[in-house]
Amino acid sequence: MTTVGTYLSVAKDLTRWRKIAANRPQVASDTKYLAAKIGKATSIDALMKDRRLFGIAMKAFGLGDMTYASGMMRKVLEQGVDSPKDLANTLHNANMLAFAKAFDYAGGKAMVDTKDFVKSVTDRYVEQAMQADQGAQNPGVQLALYFRERAPQLTTIYGILADKNLQKVVQTALDIPEAASRQPVDTQARLLKAKVKIDDFKDPVKLEAFIKRFAAMYDMRNPGAGAKVDSNANALLYSASFLGSDQAVGVDMSLLLRRQNAARGV
């Protein structure tokens, strides 16, 4: 199945795919830990001292690859979001800003002990896990789902440049060489402004058309990315979901990866 075909198949049944991801043992364990511990993280120190909790929270906001940057994250949380000069507001990273707003200890707005807060962070974590599941089979599908979720929140072109996943989608869709990323940021911004209208991503029809364009270009750049083995793995996951909503899905993602690699001769 092509990247666009797999993406459309997943996108039309996101509720089930999220449930499948939520029932995976590691995800279920992490969300249970989050629910048990997040209410006690009433300060920056308390949040960051619990490394597992901090890691789960970072992953929930798409910042899993920045968990190591504890010094910068502490500065983000200490400054808050009230001033345009605060670090979270100057990085042009929507994920970072969302994290800082959710854990706004500086502004006294971190409502970590409420059910709504727990549900919000849990839902974010499950969404990231679902996208990662798809990425294990076809990275293009993960990128498409990520773009679908995050692009409507963009307010400036710099938001694309500050997020490597959004940038990858836009560069691929517009057939912009990756080497362009080595140009000065302002030069890249001018290039994108001439080709992209941020407000278009707030229009569901235009957003979907852009994602389809990305998926088609992704397959051109990555022959075999949408191989039939990927749809087989998805079929196994999907079938496993019928075990019941209260049971852990009996499919090991590492097993699926080994199955795919074997089929590809890796």
Q: Can you give the pLDDT at residue 237?
A: 53
Q: Can you give the pLDDT at residue 211?
A: 97
Tell me: pLDDT of 250 over 90: no
More confidently predicted of 229 and 58 = 58
Tell me: pLDDT of 149 over 70: yes
Average pLDDT rounded to a whole number, residues 68-82: 96
Average pLDDT rounded to a whole number, residues 164-172: 96
Q: Can you give the pLDDT at residue 92?
A: 87
Q: Can you give the pLDDT at residue 223?
A: 84
Q: Which two tokens stand for residue 212?
A: 């389809």
Q: Tell me the Ramachandran region of residue 41: left when phi exceeds 0, alpha when psi lies from -120 to 50, beta otherwise.
A: beta
- % of the chain exceeding 90 in pLDDT: 80
Average pLDDT rounded to a whole number, residues 9-23: 95
Place of tokens 């490394």: 51
Q: Which two tokens stand for residue 98?
A: 């969302």
Q: Can you give the pLDDT at residue 12?
A: 94
The structural domains of the chain, with segments of one domain joined by +, span 3-221
Tell me: pLDDT of 239 over 70: no
Query: Is 110:230 a contact under the CB 8 Å cutoff?
Result: no
Written out in words, the top-level CATH class of the domain with range 3-221 is mainly alpha
